[in-house]
Structure 1
Amino acid sequence: MTSQPGPTAPLPDADQIRRAPKVLLHDHLDGGLRPGTVVDLARACGYEGLPEYDGDKLGTWFREAADSGSLERYLETFAHTCAVMQTSDALRRVASECAQDLAEDGVVYAEVRYAPEQHLDGGLSLEEVVRAVNAGFREGERLAREKGRRIRVGALLTAMRHAARALEIAELANAHRDSGVVGFDIAGAEAGYPPTRHLDAFEYLKRENNHFTIHAGEAFGLPSIWQALQWCGADRLGHGVRIIDDIDVAEDGSVTLGRLAAYVRDKRIPLELCPSSNLQTGAAPSYAEHPIGLLRRLHFRATVNTDNRLMSGTSMSREFGALVETFGYGLDDMQWFTVNAMKSAFIPFDERLAMINDVIKPGYAELKSEWLFSQTAVTS
């Protein structure tokens, strides 16, 4: 059950939410640039297609375009970010800033995904793209440490559903699995491009005992989820929010799970839920009606994620802040989501366990102790 506001379960404020250790599993590198960086890189490479060349105005444009309800405008936002991410220096800068921004927001572990095939227009090879991004993440981790903030970032290499390079990208992910790449993903339009088009890539990864997630159940519904799990063998579901279509809530509040929903819950298959992004794409009409509330109550392996921080104008702290305000979640709920995410990460078990026991649980315990101390001081 969720924590209820009260003297023993305070709602965390914005500062506590920011300081709480958080884990992020679903974040796109080309969807999280700083607006000012987009402007800088555009000027450096001579890209003249930006709608604005003022950082603040450009940030507003990205959010409004993503909110417009127009798929064409939404996709245009990524055309702009990818256009300025075509050199090693640009990729390294974007990745470094990504790690620093996440650390500043209290994220202690993140898996950030990107499609190497979208960064070849400047003459880079796939290998050079991966090396540049990995170098940027390591630089960002180091700079964060110098400011007293701990973060570890793993990369997920994404293949585009509409293209035919999935096996090549899967092989690339496997080749770099000991140098910062922790898994594989496919992304892009679900309708018309089922994951089964890329079975050779998934079979290869399974033979290599490697990890992969699949964007599924964001727009196309239950068939997309079923195919990702039963035909492809995905370890996690990227979004998976449409699993709600297989859950029936009666007027008396009783809940019945369909066979697929029950399978997802029983098998503890992680759902990479992205509330703000889901509102933009129409997967949920509001935070209050977002399935995350019911999925949390039913103890699915639900996690909280950002998807595209630039386009949604969001962060992990903003995502949790919206859930705290909407559902009355307390620090215990935040810890539950965070531990879920860390359990589901694509790094070795002992390293996940160490993060949970040495970083996440102590971090939340400290925040709870601060509140208890403040209450003691008030009553003494």
Structure 2
Amino acid sequence: MDYSREPESMQSRLFDSTLASVGCTSSEDKEQILVAYEGEWRNLLSKLRSDLKLRRAQDDTSYDKMHQRMKMMHNSSIVGEKIVKVARNYVKERLTDAVREATSQMPPNVLDDENLLYRLLEWDDEVNRWTKARRHMEGSWQFVLIPSAVPNAFVSEILPHRIFITTSLFETFIESQDELALVLGHEISHLILGHSSARNGLETSFRTLEILMLSLDPTEGLLSLGVMAVLASIRSAIGALHSRDNERCADELGIRLTAMACYDTRAASQVFYKMHKFNVESGRDVGVGLGGLFDSHPPSEERFIYLLKESDEENPAKYEETNCSSLKTIFFDALKSGDGKERR
């Protein structure tokens, strides 16, 4: 089958394969998936609230469970939107800096020739790096909440502009938006820094093989399950090839994005201690996923200590005159317009 002629079918199968990687395979589980869109997630929450009111009036036993999922979706959307916004701005600024640095070393005759200038900028490694990062960030993003017993959050190049978060991540580790911001900041940092690109070709090949097996398997899935299990193990091994340097770089940029989004980075770093404690007590890896937080290096006490120390430098106070002050101004202006009184 030529999947290039059926991109929607390919995307759907890649999506199913991604869900399977965190144990979301049943029709019942898939029906519980919530998807919110950047800039429009409040519409989804409004519908969920209406449904909640109806269930509560009917004394529906599913009310509590749905209420918890609505809170998870709300936090995923509001935090995800802020992290995406600051990450997009960060990448844009780095690209601008790279272009300025590259052009500052070029002779006047090159700067006067637009076509030549464009070609030379394309060949500049730093400009090329941040151009790719900007392409990854530009576009409308989706926030996908998956019912799963595997605590994870991840971003993938093969399913772009989506942040995947499992319900178990909230149930096991996340107690505040600050903690969630650091987790999402870490994952988007991997995307920005190009850590996913190196293994993306192999990963796509594995996903394509899974899709072909599901499509061509005459045993209605029995043979495919065995092959997919092997491929999943190989994918997990590839995930383990992430270097310690990559993780450290993602931690460094992740906490910076968290601070730029005006979240409490000191409080946020506690999530890594909880992950470390969980990993030690369970005596096993936290979980596996599609390029997720837990694939390569389980959260360690060393990383927690680093992030806690880094929070002294990277925190909302550092961005008080930029990101955070403008956000405060918007909120206070909204309060003034609401009652005509200035609050002090």
With CA pairs under 8 Å and 6+ residues apart, which has the higher RCO, 1 or 2? 1
Q: TM-score, normalised by structure 1?
A: 0.24
Q: TM-score, normalised by structure 2?
A: 0.26
More helix by share: 2
